[in-house]
């Protein structure tokens, strides 16, 4: 499914990208190739293929939800680049 340059420009504008003419042509070819692969996948008959992920919770048992001890304050702060008392010290966002 070949895309037009206009469609690539529209996609680029949605992504807020400014592309050169060479980039537009390269992405047009790449995106067209991806859409061709997707079209081929749509042709496959998957009616007899069982689902491999998802499913219901009754089909996929989950591990028991057990209460476990968390990290101590010393463990949490052990790798902090900077700390102030018992808190992380981070650089200011606004000046």
pLDDT, tens digit, 9 for 90 and up, residues 26-38: 999 999 999 999 9
At residue 21's C-alpha, the angle toward residues 17 and 26, to 5°, is: 80
On whether residue 83 sits in a domain, the answer given is no
Inside any domain, residue 52: no
Q: How far is CA 79 from CA 74, 89, 91, in A?
A: 9, 12, 16
Alpha-carbon distance of 66 to 68, in angstroms, equals: 6
Within a domain: 19 = yes
Q: How many domains does the chain have?
A: 1
Greater pLDDT, 9 or 56? 9
Mean pLDDT of the chain: 89
The answer to whether residue 80 is domain-embedded is no
Range of 22's domain?
5-42
- Domain with residue 38: its CATH number is 1.10.20.60
């Amino acid at each position: 499914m070949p895309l037009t340059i206009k469609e690539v420009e529209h996609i680029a504008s949605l992504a807020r990208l400014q592309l050169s003419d060479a980039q537009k042509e390269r992405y047009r070819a790449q995106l067209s190739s991806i859409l061709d692969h997707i079209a081929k996948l749509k042709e496959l008959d998957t009616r007899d293929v069982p689902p491999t992920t998802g499913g219901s919770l009754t089909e996929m048992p989950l591990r028991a939800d057990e209460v476990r001890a968390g990290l101590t304050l010393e463990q949490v702060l052990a790798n902090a680049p900077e700390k102030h008392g018992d808190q992380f010290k981070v650089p200011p966002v606004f000046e």
